Amino acid sequence: MGHHVGVAGNSGSRGRQTVRDMVLSMLAVMGVALVAYVTIPHSSNGDPVHVVDYSAAFASAKRAAPYPVLAPQGLSDKWRATSVSYQADAGGHAGWHLGFVTPDGKYASVEQSDEPKNDLLKTVVSGYVPDGASTIDGQSWARFQGDHYRSVTETANGATTVVAGSASYDELDQLAGALKP
């Protein structure tokens, strides 16, 4: 009988040890989680913007496209690139897309294609109607206002460039003015 009491006593202390180990493990895990939380960058205002680096896609699109592909140079870091793509559509037209969140928190994109201008505008600025013009680097860009987006548009060198979005014409003009091959 005394032997059984000893076993019971050992299992009791082993039970306390297990609980202690579990608590220590939990504290260690929580410590690691806290360090990770503190060191992994995250925005204090819950900003969901996922910024992309488009330099490699731009270099590759420049090699592939049948027209001079444009991307902005010299914009402030308040312009955050969020999407990039280059692809040929079913009709064989080459399309370059670069999307941004503007300094004002609006959306603006650069869309370039060798498809007919009106087809590109229909896709990007649905319900578009002429809305005057912007003069950007001495060139006249046609303004269009659509159901949801507005744009400044130019056709040159075998491609139409549409700078469109919910951004103001001022911001669209700024993005268009920064475009370089």
Q: 20 φ, ψ to 5°?
A: -60, -45
- The whole-number pLDDT of residue 65 equals 94
Place of tokens 């140079």: 73
Identify any residues that bridge with 154 across adjacent strands, giving them in sequence order.
161
Instruction: Give the Å distances, CA to CA, from 178 to 106, 117, 175.
Output: 17, 21, 5
Query: Domain-by-domain residue ranges, the chain?
Result: 1-40, 55-180
Instruction: Give the Å distances, CA to CA, from 49 to 72, 151, 172.
Output: 19, 22, 19
Place of tokens 């690139």: 81
- The whole-number pLDDT of residue 160 equals 97
Integer Cα distance of 12 and 41 in angstroms: 45
Q: Count other Cβ atoms within 10 Å, centred on residue 81.
A: 22
- The whole-number pLDDT of residue 10 equals 53
User: What are the mean pLDDT values of the chain's consecutive 10-residue runs (181 residues total)?
Assistant: 50 73 79 69 64 94 95 96 91 93 97 95 96 96 97 96 98 98 95
Superfamily of domain 55-180: MucB/RseB, C-terminal domain (3.30.200.100)
Integer Cα distance of 85 and 54 in angstroms: 9
Place of tokens 């987006």: 149
Question: Kindly report the CA angle at 95 between 65 and 51, in degrees rounded to 5?
Answer: 105
Check residue 41 and report its DSSP letter: -
Place of tokens 């819950």: 46
- The whole-number pLDDT of residue 33 equals 73
